[in-house]
């Protein structure tokens, strides 16, 4: 959540700029006021900034939820029952093709859990 605090701060700043453009009709750059209301440019820019801030907040929240829910998908897994190695993408919900009800384990985690099998192969 701390990572997104800066993004939210920027989005709030953009909202303020967008509202200021819509309300006042002019924009200040280094003390110089630029009147944008003559061509209704203030309305277009104000709406652009408001929409931009909504997109930033949405993307920030969406990426945060994905990062929390996303788990590392292993490339190769091994069944602890039949000892068969599988490409994880070929499995259905990580279940062994042979044993059906048994969850396969990431290959690295498998050999951490069963180091004696790694020693047998050497």
As a whole number, mean pLDDT of residues 81-104 equals 87
Task: Judge if 44 and 87 occupy the same domain.
Answer: no
What is the model's pLDDT at position 50? 92
* Among candidate residues 69, 91, 106, the one where a domain is terminated: 69
Could you give the CA distance from residue 40 to residue 48 in angstroms, rounded to a whole number? Answer: 13
Domain residue limits at 82: 76-121
Task: Judge if 12 and 58 occupy the same domain.
Answer: yes
121 vs 75: which has the higher pLDDT: 75
* Among candidate residues 25, 47, 69, the one where a domain is terminated: 69
Task: Name the phi and psi angles at 54, rounded to 5.
Answer: -65, -40
Task: Name the phi and psi angles at 117, rounded to 5.
Answer: -70, -35
Task: Judge if 8 and 48 occupy the same domain.
Answer: yes
Could you give the CA distance from residue 61 to residue 54 in angstroms, rounded to a whole number? Answer: 11
- 38-81 pLDDT per residue, tens: 888 888 888 999 999 988 888 877 764 444 444 667 888 999 88
CB proximity list for 87: less than 8 A, separation 6 or greater: 75, 76
- pTM of the predicted model, to two decimals? 0.47
Task: Judge if 21 and 54 occupy the same domain.
Answer: yes
Q: Quick one: pLDDT band at residue 99, thresholds 50, 70, 90?
A: confident
Q: How does the average pLDDT of the chain come out, rounded?
A: 80
Pull the structure tokens for residue 44. 């277009």
Task: Judge if 10 and 45 occupy the same domain.
Answer: yes
Contact between 45 and 21 (Cβ < 8 Å): yes
| Structural domain count of the chain | 2
The helix/strand/coil state of 28 is: strand
């Amino acid at each position: 959540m701390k990572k997104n605090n800066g993004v939210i701060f920027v989005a709030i700043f953009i909202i303020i700029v967008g509202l200021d453009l819509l309300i006042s009709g002019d924009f200040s750059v280094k003390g110089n006021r630029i009147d944008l209301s003559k061509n209704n440019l203030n309305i277009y820019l104000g709406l652009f900034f408001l929409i931009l801030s909504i997109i930033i907040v949405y993307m920030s929240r969406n990426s945060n939820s994905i990062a929390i829910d996303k788990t590392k998908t292993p490339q190769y897994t091994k069944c602890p029952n039949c000892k068969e190695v599988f490409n994880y993408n070929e499995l259905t919900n990580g279940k062994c093709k042979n044993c059906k009800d048994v969850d396969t384990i990431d290959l690295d985690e498998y050999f951490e859990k069963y180091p004696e099998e790694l020693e047998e192969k050497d």
